[in-house]
Structures are given as structure tokens and as C-alpha cells.
Structure 1
């Protein structure tokens, strides 16, 4: 494989408004809408009204967060803009911590969605019973390595694949949404009863609502992808906000309709007992078409995973160029892809696939995402005062609200992770300590 040297290469600006919207749409609509409904219902105490309200609130919060976050990509139109911004506003220690956390958080999210995707693919071969862990994990490993190979082929192949997979996932989600609407319009009692008495169930407490928010926000995660790849976008100052508004509006509408459709066919307890909600939904509606749902869901999750690997490798690439990660991670191949960074993500995700508690893994990833968002919004506010004359093609004033919201979510969930999760599973505590201590040791050599 031929590699380009530092003197004559750079990432190319080849992604316009259409493909930018497709990439953003693809990464958001991935595993979340098929995994999070179960988690949101669980932490909403199976209260249908609270669950749907949380989905709507998550849509509003995500839109505000994405538009605020867009300021990073328009002010610093370069790939890995979050990292560069944190280094400039909060210093190299914070930016290094951001990179170190992402070294594990991004592969963890990739591992979780790969396991979910493997479960959906294998599920039709095990009707009426749970999917065995061993074949599911082996297939998840194969998926992760296929993603690595695809990303090594460069931007054009990635955008072509994203366009194709978006058509497939839209067909599946539109079918689920429209079927739910038809069932409600018919007015069958069993379908309407759950919505007529939506708020009659037990109301969750504040900590449960915070957990439910993390599950719902996980389904909207990925809206920062365009900031990560701003160096490959045409006219980022104009296209990033436009892509965000277009994609998130469509996503919010689809998510609400799909959740209503799930609840129109399945009871909350049936959703909680299902390993693959969409497949169980199809089994109730058209049992002979389970394979179609599996293909659609698989395409959706795979395309989201593809975007995650694509964007996360760019952050490692920029950190390498800035000298906080080994220089080899900034090596590009003949397709202008940071292939060594892609390979590192693929290897780490392969190791993380071994644990399989998906809901817990989703909460960890969500916790990290909102911790990082709080840091970035704080940095934006600080930079407003430090460099008021810095050119900002796009600017809004929501950052303070997001800092407060992120702080509330972190406060309500921190004690749970610190005092419950780590002590219930000592292995997680040991691994966490190893990661933290390795970060401190590694920092001495950067």
C-alpha cells in the first residue's frame, strides 16, 4: 500500500449539502431507534405517556445541541474541529483527555452497535428463542472488520454506500411508521387503549428520567459528525447548519412515528422482553416478512457504524498531526484515508465486543457524550470572551442552557455509575482504573 508523505497531502473537500445531509441522517438513524425504545420504556417505568414525552424532549434538546455544536465546525472548518477547539480554548490537557476518552468511547459505541446488528441478522435463524452469544460475537467481529476495509477505500466509496443504505433504511422505517398510523386509524381497542391511558402507569423519579433521557439521546447521537469531518465539507459555514436542520427534523418525525407504531402493536412488557423490537413488531404484523425487517435494520445499523468509523478516525488523525498521538496515525493511504487510525479503531472495537451488556454500554457512551458536550459548550462561552473578534460564520446563544442541562444529566447519573455499576461488577472497576492510570502515564510522553 502506497502512503502519502506529510509534504504533499491533505484531506479533500468533496462532500456537499446533499451528501452531508445523507451522512448525518445515516449516522443518527442507526442502532438507536431499534435499541433505545426498550431502554426508554424501562426507565420510564413502562409509562407510555412519559416515554413518548421523553422522545419528543430528546428531539428538541438534540436540535439545540446540534445547532450550538455547529458553531465549532463553522468557526474552525477543519476535520477533528472538536479536538482543535478544545486545545485552543481549554488547553492541551483537556484536549488530550478528550482524545483519550474517545480512544475507548468510539470503539465502545461501535462494538455495541455491531453486537446489535449481529443479533438482528442472526435472529431469524433462531425463531422463538434467544440468539446464542458465540455466533453473535463472531459475526459482530466480521462486521467491524468489513467496516474497516470499506473506510480504507476512501470518501467516495463511503458516501456512495451511505446513499444506498439510506434508501433501504427509509423504506423500512416508513413502512413501520405508516403501518402504525393505519392500525391507529382503524381504531382497534387494543391499539388505542395504551394511548388513551398513556399516563396512568407509575411515574418515574428524577434519576430514572435522567437514565431515560440518556437512552433517548443515544438514539439521536451522531449529530456532531459534520464537525468532525468539516475539513472534507464544501462551504462548511453554510452547509453544516443547513444539514443539521434538515436531517434532525426528519429524524425527530420518524422516531416519534416509529415509537407510536411499536406501541400500537406491542405492549410495553412485550417490548421489554424482546431482543429485537422491530423483528418482534413484524412478527405480530406480517410474520412471513421478518427477513425484510432484518435486512432493513441491518442496513441502517451498518451505515451508522460506517459513519462512526469514518468520522472518529479523523479526530485521531488531527490529534496525531497536533503531536498528542503517535505520528503514524496521521498517515494517509492512496485513497486519502487515515488508514492507521481506522485500523486502531477496528482493533479496539474487536476487543470491546467481548462484553455484551448493551443497555449498560449505551449508558456509558451516553454519559461520555454529554460530558464532552458540556466541556465544548463551556469552551465556546470562554472563547466568546477571550476572542470576541474571531470570525464566526454561524453563531447562536444556546450554549449556557446546554451546559446546565449536561450538568444536570451528569449529576443525576454519576452516583449511579460510581457507586452501583462499578461495585456490582468489579471487573468494570478494574478496567476503569487501568484506563485512567494508563492515560496519566501516557500523558507524560506527549
Structure 2
């Protein structure tokens, strides 16, 4: 096995083409949001249907603009790691490490755990009709699904791509069916909730901010391909095309599905429903309403699968840049997957399932996400001026980057100003706690005794190899 590994470079395989890339983005973006919580946008829009639909479209456009900025960075720097790598190149090592610390130790595992708990809620609920799912069973099912996804990610990247393709197609079939039902209802004259769409109160600035947060949550994951650059075929051509195609498709689906909900349910019914898609199904297809909860579970699984894939690549990239232990950047010599990085992600997400009260803090890390989007886009602008002659296969119209920075700034400041809570301080304190690790172990390169021996043991035990094995062999 070792001889075969030395004959060819140990590196990630390029398995993601245009079709798979589109499905990957759609599969990660379309999670539970569009099925469960469109009422949030409507609530903060003051039950103004027209404004809520405009906000859904605007959130999609903002996601598109952000993704186009990321497309320039991804095609210019074809390396795994996404925002982490771009912030490091544009703003320096310290801001990148703070991002890595926050993503690897909290936001990434927490979001994975939330998806797993939501999946288990829908997957286990049919076994407890009319009752709440027992907490222990829900947590056990969440851990099992995290382990299954983690194992699949360790074994074969092609399986992940195939699974994402299948799940994305299933999601689009379900959303298409809901959209068609809505169009049929409109043709039948059920237009009472959309005829005077802009009647009603106008939300204030604070409410606009809350509505945008609800909508942007449903579009989360538009940056997933930037964490898989090394596995994309012809990235300079495929990344811009996949971004435009997939996000445009999501915008259209989201608008049509929201209109479909409005043809069956009143705005107040949508706001009061904990799972609007299930309520919609009970009204329109009562005999087969179970299809929607199953669809929600499938949708969440696809988002969970893509999120785990992305988190593993973040760990892998951070280790390659020297910000995490070297063992995490090694690939399995047979499967050519970042197995150690995926194992770390799986363990952390599984641990987060146990003390679920910790997950309440994730609400206050939302602003961290847009802080990092803003920093990434600032990195793009800085690199435009600092390295104007850098080869850029794709260049975004620079004013778009300024718009994204302005939106990110608004989404970071708005929740703190409109509803200041001490949890935001805790989130910021957690981010700054990374300095305790950064300066001794990264900046001053302090070595832990016997750590190299532990790395060697793990390398043999896990059957993994550094990605520069081929070059080292040639030099010898």
C-alpha cells in the first residue's frame, strides 16, 4: 500500500463537476428553513405579504452577490479552506486563526448538531404519534446520524457527491410539487392573500433586520464550494456557472413555495404554524401528508451531509496552513479522503449533542457568520489593490464587493443594537480566546513534548499520509 502511495501524489480527487456542483450548493442551502419557518420573515414583515416576498428575493440576491465575490477568490486561489484561506491571504494569519478557532470548535459542530437533532426529530416522530419525542431517543438518533455521515465522508468522496445529487433532486421534486400546487390554486382563483400584497403596516428598520436574518438563514450554505475547490473539475469555469445556476434556482423555488403557502394559508396561520409545510400538507394532501415530514428529514440530511463535508475541509485546510496539528491535514492512502479532519468534526459534533443547553448560544453566533463574510469580502478588496496583477480567472464587478461589505456590516451591528444581550459578549469573548492558543503555538511555534510521536502513531493507526509525500520521495 505504501509503495503504491509513493507512485502517485496523495491528494484530493477532482470529483465535482458542474451538475454535481449545482446539486451540492442546492443540497446545502435547502435545509429545514423553507419547510419550517417562512413565518419568521412574514412575522417581522408585519404580515405584509408583498414585503415578505421582496425580502425573500432580496436575501437570494444578497447571497448571489456574496457567492460571486467568493467565486473570484475561489478561482484565484484554488485551495480548500474557503473563507479561512482568503482571510489569511488578504488580512493576515491572526484574523484567519480567529475564524478557524470559531468555526472548528463551535459554530461548525453546533450547526451540524442542530441539523442532526432536527433530522432525528422528524425521523423518530412517526414512532411516537401524538407525543413529544423522548429527549434521550432524539439525542441517540442524532449521534447515530452524525456517525453515519462522518463514516461516509471518511470512506469515499464520490459517495458524498452521489448522495448530494440524489437528495438535491428529491428536494427539487418536492419543492416543484408544492410550487405547482400553488400555481394550480392561483388558477382556481385562490388569490385572496396575494391580491393586495402590499397592504398592511410597513416594518421599521429593526424589523427589517430581523426579517433579513430569518431569510438569510434559509439561504445559508451558498459558500460551500469554496471549501471544496481542490475537488472541483475546471474550477475557473465551473464555479461561477454553478453559483449563478444554483442560487437562481433556489430563489425561484423559494418564491414559488412561499406563494403556494399563501394560496392555502392566511398570513396569520403561517406565522402561528411551527412547521408551515406540514400545515400546508394537512390542508392540501391530507391522505399523504406524511410525505412532507419525510421530505423535511431528507432535506435536513442533505444539508447535514454537505455541512459535515465543508467542516472537514476547513479542518484540513487549517492544518495545511500550520494552524492545526499536522495529522489533520493528512489523507487516507487508500480512499484519498481527509479522514482525520472528518473524524475530528464527527467527534466534536457528537459531543455537542449531549449538553444540548449549550446549543442555545448558537443563536448569538449568527452575527459571527456575517462578520466573517464581511472580512472575507474586505480581503478581496484588499487583494485587488495590493496585488493588482494577480491572475484572476474570474473577476467580480468591484462595487458588488462594497455592497456585500455594507450588508454584512448591517447584519452584524443590527442585532446587537436592536436587542443587546450579554450572550453577544460571550460569543466575542470566545472568538478572542483563540489568542491564548495562537501566540504560543502558532506565532512562537512552541512544540509540545512527545507530540511528534503521537502524530506518528496516529498516522500509522489511521493509515494516512501527508499530501506532500510524492515530492518528498522525489527529493530523496
For the criterion TM > 0.5, the same-fold answer is: yes
Within the alignment, does 1:102 sit opposite 2:97 as a pair? no
1:401 to 395, 403, 425: 403
| Alpha-carbon distance between aligned partners in 2 of 1:231 and 1:348, rounded to the nearest angstrom | 25
Give the match for residue 72 of structure 2: 71
Secondary structure, in 3 states, of the residue corresponding to 1:183?
helix
1:159 to 140, 158, 161: 161
Give the match for residue 246 of structure 2: 247
Secondary structure, in 3 states, of the residue corresponding to 1:182?
helix
1:356-397 CA-partner distances (Å, limit 9, x unpaired): 798984x54542221111101111111111110000000012
**TM-aligned CA deviation for residue 57 of structure 1:** 0.8
Give the match for residue 310 of structure 2: 311
| Alpha-carbon distance between aligned partners in 1 of 2:146 and 2:418, rounded to the nearest angstrom | 31
Within the alignment, does 1:58 sit opposite 2:59 as a pair? yes
The answer as to whether partners of 2:150 and 2:346 remain within 8 angstroms in 1 is yes
What TM-score do you get using the length of structure 1 for normalisation?
0.90
Secondary structure, in 3 states, of the residue corresponding to 2:289?
helix
Within the alignment, does 1:327 sit opposite 2:329 as a pair? no
Within the alignment, does 1:238 sit opposite 2:240 as a pair? no
The answer as to whether partners of 1:130 and 1:275 remain within 8 angstroms in 2 is no
The answer as to whether partners of 1:180 and 1:261 remain within 8 angstroms in 2 is yes
| Alpha-carbon distance between aligned partners in 1 of 2:284 and 2:77, rounded to the nearest angstrom | 49
Give the match for residue 390 of structure 2: 390
| Alpha-carbon distance between aligned partners in 2 of 1:53 and 1:195, rounded to the nearest angstrom | 13
Give the match for residue 292 of structure 2: 293
Within the alignment, does 1:279 sit opposite 2:281 as a pair? no
| Alpha-carbon distance between aligned partners in 1 of 2:266 and 2:130, rounded to the nearest angstrom | 18
| Alpha-carbon distance between aligned partners in 2 of 1:174 and 1:144, rounded to the nearest angstrom | 29
For 1:45-444, list aligned pairs within 5 A.
45-103=46-104, 104-127=106-129, 130-188=132-190, 192-333=191-332, 334-353=334-353, 354-355=355-356, 361=362, 363-364=363-364, 366-396=366-396, 397=398, 398-416=400-418, 419-420=420-421, 422=423, 432=427, 435-436=430-431, 438-444=433-439
| Alpha-carbon distance between aligned partners in 1 of 2:29 and 2:428, rounded to the nearest angstrom | 31
Secondary structure, in 3 states, of the residue corresponding to 2:99?
helix
Secondary structure, in 3 states, of the residue corresponding to 1:194?
coil
CA RMSD of aligned residues (A): 2.6
**TM-aligned CA deviation for residue 70 of structure 1:** 0.5
1:160-211 CA-partner distances (Å, limit 9, x unpaired): 11121122212211111111111122114xxx22222433333322112112
The answer as to whether partners of 1:80 and 1:227 remain within 8 angstroms in 2 is yes
**TM-aligned CA deviation for residue 29 of structure 1:** 1.4
Q: 1:56 to 1:120 in 2, by over 3 A?
A: same
The answer as to whether partners of 1:108 and 1:365 remain within 8 angstroms in 2 is no
**Unaligned regions of 5+ residues in structure 1, if any?**
423-427
Q: Where has structure 1 moved over 6 Å in runs of 4 or more?
A: 1-5, 356-360
Give the match for residue 446 of structure 2: none
**TM-aligned CA deviation for residue 148 of structure 1:** 0.8
Aligned length: 434
| Alpha-carbon distance between aligned partners in 1 of 2:208 and 2:189, rounded to the nearest angstrom | 31
| Alpha-carbon distance between aligned partners in 2 of 1:229 and 1:179, rounded to the nearest angstrom | 36
| Alpha-carbon distance between aligned partners in 2 of 1:358 and 1:290, rounded to the nearest angstrom | 30
The answer as to whether partners of 2:374 and 2:409 remain within 8 angstroms in 1 is yes
| Alpha-carbon distance between aligned partners in 1 of 2:5 and 2:429, rounded to the nearest angstrom | 35
Secondary structure, in 3 states, of the residue corresponding to 1:138?
helix
- In terms of mean alpha carbon deviation, does 314-323 or 325-334 score higher? 325-334
Give the match for residue 12 of structure 2: 11
1:69-106 CA-partner distances (Å, limit 9, x unpaired): 11111000121143222112101001101111211212
Secondary structure, in 3 states, of the residue corresponding to 2:337?
coil
| Alpha-carbon distance between aligned partners in 1 of 2:360 and 2:36, rounded to the nearest angstrom | 8
The answer as to whether partners of 1:228 and 1:311 remain within 8 angstroms in 2 is yes
The answer as to whether partners of 2:46 and 2:203 remain within 8 angstroms in 1 is yes
Secondary structure, in 3 states, of the residue corresponding to 1:195?
coil
Give the match for residue 42 of structure 2: 41
The answer as to whether partners of 2:352 and 2:358 remain within 8 angstroms in 1 is no
- In terms of mean alpha carbon deviation, does 432-441 or 320-329 score higher? 432-441
